[in-house]
Structure 1
C-alpha cells in the first residue's frame, strides 16, 4: 500500500523522495496526457526544460539578477500550460513594459535572497497579471534556496490549504511547508550518510511533492516500482487520516484568526488567477 500524498509529505525520507524526484519526467508525461490542447501539450517539454534548467542561470548571470519582459511572458506561458489555463492573464502580462519588469523582478529577487518573502511577493505583484502564484514562479527559479512554486497540486497536498485561494498567506503557508520538508529531508539524508547528493531546497521539495501527487493520483504503478516504501510508511499511511484531520482543524482555526486580525493581507494580495474575472482583476492590478 502506497502512502497517500499527505502522509508522504509528513513522513517521507530523503531516499524515498529522491526516488520520487527522479520520476519527474514520468509525472510531466502524465500531465501532458491530460492537456486537451495538443499544441500546448507538445510545447510543455521545451517550456519546462527552459524553466527548470535554463531560466535560473540566465537570471543569475545578470547584475543585478532580473527577468526581461520576454522571459516573463514565456514564464507565464509555462505556468498556464503546466497549471490551470487562464488566457486573460497572458494579455495582462503583455501589458507590462520592459523597464517595469526589470525593476520589479530585480527588487523582488533581491528581497527574496534576504529572506523577506512577503515584501518580495509584494514587489512582484505590482506587475500586471502577476499575483502571488506567478510571483512564486519567478522566485522559485531565481531563489530556489528560499522559495518554492505555488503549484495547485502541492497546495492540495497540504491539509491547511485544501481550500486555498492563491493569496499571499496561502503561499506563505505553502513555502513554509516546503522549507520545512527540505530541512527534514536534508537531515534524514545526513543520518542515512547519503553522500554526493545535492542538498534539498524548497523548490526541489516542491517538485518532489508535485511528482508524487501526479503519479499517486494517475499512475501508481510507477511509484510502486520504486520499491523504496517500507512497512513503517505503510503503517503511517493507514493511521494518517486522524492526524491529518487534527492538523487541518488546528490550521483552519489559525487561518481564521489570521484572516480576521484586521490586516487584510490575504485579500490585498489575491492572485488575479484566483477567480478568472479579468475585468475585476485588471482594475485591481493597475
Structure 2
C-alpha cells in the first residue's frame, strides 16, 4: 500500500491485520515481544510520572523487538544491553520532555551507544505514538521510496509525511496516529512479501512438475 492511498477502509483493514501479520512471520518470541512493545511498555513509561523514562532492560527488549521484526543486528543488542542504568534513564527522561520537538528528542537518545535514529524513534513511539512513528524499513520505503538513509534529517521528513497521513485519515472519522499509519504500512508490506513469495513457490512447483 502506498502512502498516497486515500481509502480509509483499506488503511483500517491493514491496521486490523497487524497482529496476524506478526504471528505469520513465525519468528521466535516476536509475538510476545510485540505485545510487550505495543501493549505493555507505553503504560509502564507513563506510570512513571512526573519523570517518565525507560530502563536498560526495557531498552534491550525494545531492541530485541525491533531486530526481530526487522533485520537482525546482534551487535546493537549487545551495545544497549550493557548501557549504564542511570545513563539510559537520564537520556530517555530528557527525550520525552523534549517532545513534541522531535529533533531534540532524537538527539537526546542517540547519545546512547547502539541507539541510532531508528531505535530512538521506537523509544519515542512507545511513549508518544500520536507524535512519533517508528522508523521501520517497510514504512520508509512506502513513504520515501527507500530505507537506506537512517538519519535524523530523513526521519523528520518521514514524520511529517506520516503525521499528515494520520491527520487526513482521522478526518474521515476514525482516529489514526502516525504510529497507526506505520503499522498499517508495515502490515501491508508484509502481506505483499508473502503474496510474492507464494507466487514464486507456485511457479517453481509448476516448473518442477513439467520436468
TM-score by length of 2: 0.87
Does residue 1:76 correspond to 2:55, yes or no? no
Q: Secondary structure at the match of 1:135?
A: helix
Structure 1 stretches lacking a partner, 5+ long? 33-40, 191-196, 221-286
Structure 2 match to 1:60: 46
Structure 1 match to 2:205: none
Structure 2 match to 1:31: 25
1:30, 1:214 within 8 Å by CA — same for their partners in 2?
no
* Equivalences for residues 80-159 of structure 1 within 5 A: 80-112=67-99, 115-158=100-143
In the alignment, which of 178, 181, 197 is matched to residue 165 of structure 2?
A: 181
2: CA distance, partners of 1:186 / 1:144: 14
| TM superposition shift of 1:173 | 1.6
| TM superposition shift of 1:14 | 2.2
Structure 2 match to 1:208: 184
2: CA distance, partners of 1:205 / 1:172: 15
2:77, 2:114 within 8 Å by CA — same for their partners in 1?
yes
Structure 2 match to 1:12: 6
The change in CA–CA distance for 1:210 and 1:43 in structure 2 (over 3 A counts) is same
Q: Secondary structure at the match of 2:48?
A: coil
TM-score by length of 1: 0.65
* Equivalences for residues 187-266 of structure 1 within 5 A: 187=171, 189-190=172-173, 197=174, 199-219=175-195
Q: Secondary structure at the match of 1:11?
A: coil
1:136, 1:148 within 8 Å by CA — same for their partners in 2?
yes
2: CA distance, partners of 1:10 / 1:217: 20
Structure 2 match to 1:230: none
2: CA distance, partners of 1:96 / 1:24: 31
The change in CA–CA distance for 1:107 and 1:161 in structure 2 (over 3 A counts) is farther
Q: Which fold has the larger relative contact order, with Cα–Cα distance below 8 Å and residues 6 or more apart in sequence?
A: 1
The change in CA–CA distance for 1:45 and 1:183 in structure 2 (over 3 A counts) is same
1: CA distance, partners of 2:45 / 2:11: 28
Structure 2 stretches lacking a partner, 5+ long? 197-211
Structure 2 match to 1:237: none
Q: Secondary structure at the match of 1:130?
A: coil
CA RMSD of aligned residues (A): 1.5
